[in-house]
A and B are shown apart, each in its own frame.
Chain A
Amino acid sequence: MFRRRGDGLIASAMLAPAIAILSIFVVYPLGRAVWLGHLRCDATGRKCRTSGWMQYFDVLRSSDFQHALKVTFVYALLTVPAGLVIGVGLAVLADKQIRGIGFFRTIFSSTVATSVAVASLIWFVLLQPQVGLLPDMLSMFGVMKNPGLLNDAGTALPAIAITSIWANLGFTFIIVTAALQSIPAELFESAMMDGAGGWKRFTNVTIPMLSPTLLFVSVVLVTRAFQAYAEVDLLTKGGPNPERSTETVTYLIYGQTSLVKNDIGLKSTTAVLLFAILLVLSLVQFRSLERRVHYGN
């Protein structure tokens, strides 16, 4: 460690850019939002009056926030378990040194290259009720006529969920594949010596060894569900209305039809509540990472 005169000055100079950016655009906005969260403001945002700190609880209990929270939970339920099962299935399927496996692995990782916006637009076209390929094919097989999946209050959220599962598949596949490869081969061999069949090896060796990774991936996927915005904005704008069936918490704050759009006070309250939820998820995520590192050693 260096210790010289003028070190303090050099350190300050080196830290200044990062600290300035983080203070102005991360810490200040958060603090400011927490403060504004107890105010109610008019559309200009200049005239505010206090509404009391209870506003946080009022918003938390409000039917609008509860609704968005419910939509987000359902969205997470639709995307996370299915995404995990499919991701693990693909990874296990491709976890064998056979000829051409690299090709399949590249394909299964490929959706990691699509941004949420690109994935959403791909599925928007496929699902489009009048001219989309999927409704057309489904009606050809006589399953249903013209299912406007995104326009139906009952199916809009599952339809977005399919988009999300597909888009996240590459990510899950890559992580689980790496975790599978780090499982010591001796474990499988000794299980085989004990006469364990394929399924038994999967449930008794693979799953327990994967569990820290699975926890990590689930938390990341749940976090993504709570951050879901672009897919909602591009596919449904929070609708169909009046049910607002796809209005996630993030969309409740930032959507074009947002109820709190013109009230910087209420908007801040809602954003801080979302922050609190994501904070808990991040902390769980860090813990799961720690455990992952532990198991890896």
Chain B
Amino acid sequence: MATNTAVAKQQKSWRVYGRYTLLMFVTLIVVFPIYATVLSAFKSGPDSLDHPRSLLPTGLTLDTMRAAWNLGHMGRLLWNSLFVSVAVTIGVIITSVLAAYAFTFINFRGRRFVFGFCLATLLVPVEATVVINQRLIDSFGWKNSYQGLIVPLLATAFGIFLIRQVFMTVPKELIEAASLDGVGHFGLLREVAMPLARPTLGALGLFTFLGTWNQYLWPQAVVDDQEHRTIQIGLDALRSADINRFNLITAGTVIGALPIFVVLVAFQRQLVRGLTAGAIKG
């Protein structure tokens, strides 16, 4: 009996070792592209092309990163992306909260219809509307402007729906009590609804920020000048014709990926919770 459990234990520990070996192996494969990119960003141009020595952490320098920062106007690109993403995130939170409040707490005529109208827009992907929106923005005189990048994104059915789901959990008695106490709509919104919605607002904010930051098609459709380019469409310019400066693009990629990486590490839990709740857009 005793030897049996010992054998079982040994078998089990072998299994654990096997799992670790596999995990390490797969980790190497998944991380390899990131490792190679980061390392190449911190090497001189010729060193980054000297394979396979390029994979050793030797001869590290900040020159390429500095050059990419200056040549690629990375400060500008990052600022544009940050400004647009923050503006859209704040805007979406405001429009979603207001609309969700009206849909949940105010009984007005045509409520179901208007809500259905909003919800239906969930089915319209950006790929279907860019054709017309591009010309619309042109006709507003918003080509190459922050307005063009921001305004069309300031409301989403997804946001309204998400916040409404939370507002609907407010108990009826609470609303009635507040109403009897003479609390107005803004009082109810501020004192009851908003505190309840805070965690969800965090998730909505995170997803809106990431979605806006990662956009490609829309910024490319409205912006073609250096001044308003965002990081996703601006990185491309670092693809150097000079093969000795080939790793400018890896340096740019590292700089471009870093802010989002920081955001995700900081908000990892919200991200996982949001994703698994089915809170995925596009």
Contacts and interface: CB of A to CB of B under 8 A. Distances in A.
Interface of A: 1-3, 7-8, 10-12, 14-15, 17-22, 24-30, 32-33, 36, 45, 90, 93-94, 96, 98, 104, 106-118, 121-126, 128, 130-131, 133, 136-137, 140, 166, 169, 171, 174-175, 178-179, 216, 220, 223, 227, 229-230, 233-234, 250, 253-254, 264, 267-268, 271-272, 274-275, 278-279, 282-283, 289, 292-293
A235 B280 CA distance: 26
B199 to A, nearest CB: 17
B276 interface: yes
Contacts of A227: 125, 127, 282
A241 B130 CA distance: 26
Contacts of B16: 98
B105 interface: yes
A112 B99 CA distance: 30
Overall SS of chain A's interface: helix
A98 B132 CA distance: 53
A131 B47 CA distance: 11
Given A45-B135, A115-B232, A178-B276, A274 B19 contact: no
B114 A112 contact: no
Interface string B213-253: 11011001100000000001101100100010011011011
A107 B239 CA distance: 28
14 contacts: A19-B114, A19-B155, A21-B152, A26-B124, A29-B136, A90-B30, A98-B16, A107-B31, A115-B213, A121-B235, A125-B250, A133-B54, A271-B129, A274-B127
Given A22-B157, A98-B19, A113-B257, A7 B108 contact: yes
A271 B128 contact: yes
Those 8 A-B pairs whose CB atoms lie nearest each other, nearest first: A29-B132, A275-B128, A21-B155, A230-B216, A25-B152, A178-B276, A115-B214, A29-B129
Interface string B130-143: 11110110000000
Interface of B: 16, 19-20, 22-23, 26-27, 30-31, 33-34, 36-37, 40, 49, 51-52, 54-55, 94-96, 98-99, 101-103, 105-109, 111, 114, 117-118, 121-125, 127-133, 135-136, 151-155, 157, 160, 172, 175, 179, 185, 188, 213-214, 216-217, 220-221, 232-233, 235-236, 239, 243, 246-247, 249-250, 252-253, 256-257, 260-261, 264, 268, 271-272, 275-276, 278, 280, 282
A283 B217 CA distance: 23
B167 to A, nearest CB: 12
A150 to B, nearest CB: 13
A4 B84 CA distance: 39
Contacts of B261: 113
Contacts of A27: 117, 121, 124
A151 to B, nearest CB: 15
A191 B43 CA distance: 54
A106 B272 CA distance: 11
Contacts of A110: 30-31, 34
A126 B22 CA distance: 24
A178 B94 CA distance: 31
A268 B131 contact: yes
A236 to B, nearest CB: 13
B246 A21 contact: no
B214 A32 contact: no
A32 to B, nearest CB: 5
A122 B155 contact: no
Quick one: which of B52, B105, B128, B216 has the most chain A CB within 10 A? B128
Given A18-B155, A292-B278, 7 more contacts: A19-B118, A25-B133, A33-B131, A107-B30, A123-B33, A175-B276, A278-B125
